[in-house]
Amino acid sequence: MIEVTGLSKRYGDKRAVDNLTFTVRPGLVTGFLGPNGAGKSTTLRMIVGLDRPTSGSARVCGRPYHELPTPLHTVGALLEAKAVHDGRTAREHLRGLAASHHIPRQRVDEVLAMVGLTAAARKRVGGFSLGMGQRLGIAAALLGDPEILILDEPVNGLDPEGIQWVREFMRGMADDGRTVLVSSHLMSEMQDTADHLIVIGRGRLAADSSMADFLARSSHNGTVVRTPHAPQLVPLLQREGGTAESLPGDASPDGALLVRGVDARRIGELAGQHGLWLYELAPQRVSLQEAFMELTADAVEYRVTHSGKAA
Residues that bind another protein (CB under 8 A): 45, 48-52, 61, 65-66, 68-75, 77, 79-80, 82-89, 92-93, 95-97, 99-102, 104, 107, 110-111, 113-117, 119-120, 131-132, 135, 140, 142, 144-147, 161-162, 164-165, 168-169, 172-173, 176
Cβ count near 302 (within 10 Å): 8
Q: How far is the CB of 194 from another protein (least distance, A)?
A: 17
Q: How far is the CB of 189 from another protein (least distance, A)?
A: 16
Of residues 45 and 196, the one with the C-beta less far from another protein:
45
Of residues 172 and 272, the one with the C-beta less far from another protein:
172
Phi, psi of 180 (to 5 degrees): -125, 120
Of residues 138 and 233, the one with the C-beta less far from another protein:
138
Q: How far is the CB of 87 from another protein (least distance, A)?
A: 5
Q: How far is the CB of 197 from another protein (least distance, A)?
A: 22
Q: How far is the CB of 140 from another protein (least distance, A)?
A: 6
Of residues 39 and 144, the one with the C-beta less far from another protein:
144
